[in-house]
Amino acid sequence: MQQISGWRRALLWPLGFLIRLWGQSLRFETPPPDLLNYCKKDEPISMILWHNRLFLAVEIVRRYRGGRPAYALVSASQDGAWLTAFFSLCGVRTVRGSSSRLGREAASALVEMVQAGHDIGLTPDGPRGPCYDFKPGAVIVARRTQTPLLLIGGDFESAWRIRSWDRLYLPKPFSRVHLRGELVAADQLRDRDAAIARLRTRLLAMNPDRHEPSAVAAN
């Protein structure tokens, strides 16, 4: 499994600091019922968001989850190693594995995190798409642990978009983000295929695409 250490990890410190300041500058507007969903702390939750809204994840954990440890599933690849190192600087822990297939080891590790009382985060179309494709792995942990999903919606009033496979959103500093959050109880996931179709429909509705890609490039 790929890891980032030494001077490469040290290079991420300034970026992590910048991203934290950037995220704190955003103005989140959240309807009161959705805010209650974000602040629900009586049991762990699985946060579900599209890969191109990943920028919001750290700030959501910081603002709304009250210091509860959160674990994100990231790829075991070199890209995942960089993301793991970055998340660690921002206070989010990781479980390494494929969110495309959610292999046995990754699923078991996530189940253990939830059973220990920790939140987890999953991108159903990650790590490499197709964009907005809701893969079955996103509901596996909730079905096994009988804990709710929190569907995350982010509508950006002003944002750049990277020319990556998911056209990642980068909200402009000090801009406004209309944040939505819907809880889905585990008993609504019994029929897996029907649940996946409903979840994808809701996530698409909660995350409208309003910005054309900018000239920001990605490797």
The pair of three-digit structure tokens given for residue 184, joined into one six-digit string: 């889905």
The crossing angle, in degrees rounded to 10, of helices 57-64 and 6-25 is 60
* Closest to 138 measured CA to CA, from 94, 170, 106, 92: 106
Whether the CB-CB separation of 82 and 14 falls below 8 Å is answered with: no
Given a cut of 90, whether residue 200 has pLDDT beyond it is yes
Euclidean distance between CA atoms 80 and 190, whole angstroms: 31
**Model confidence at 212, in pLDDT bands (50, 70, 90)?**
low
Euclidean distance between CA atoms 132 and 204, whole angstroms: 8
Given a cut of 80, whether residue 107 has pLDDT beyond it is yes
Element (H, E) at 72: strand 70-74
**Model confidence at 215, in pLDDT bands (50, 70, 90)?**
very low
pLDDT in tens, 12-48: 778 778 888 999 999 999 999 999 999 999 999 999 9
* Closest to 38 measured CA to CA, from 152, 115, 124: 152
Least confident of 13-17, 87-91, 112-116: 87-91
Given a cut of 70, whether residue 178 has pLDDT beyond it is yes
What does the mean pLDDT of the chain come to?
Answer: 86
pLDDT in tens, 58-72: 899 989 997 788 898
Question: Residues with Cβ < 8 Å from 75, sequence gap 6 or more?
Answer: 83, 96, 97, 98, 99, 126, 127
More confident residue, 89 or 60: 60
User: Residue 147's pLDDT is what?
Assistant: 94
Letter for the amino acid at 111?
V
Given a cut of 60, whether residue 57 has pLDDT beyond it is yes
Letter for the amino acid at 33?
P
Q: What is the mean pLDDT of residues 3-16?
A: 68
Domains of the chain by start residue, with CATH:
6-206 (3.40.1130.10)
* Closest to 117 measured CA to CA, from 38, 46, 43, 40: 43
pLDDT in tens, 127-152: 888 999 999 888 999 999 999 999 99
**Model confidence at 155, in pLDDT bands (50, 70, 90)?**
very high
Query: Percentage of the chain surpassing pLDDT 90?
Result: 60
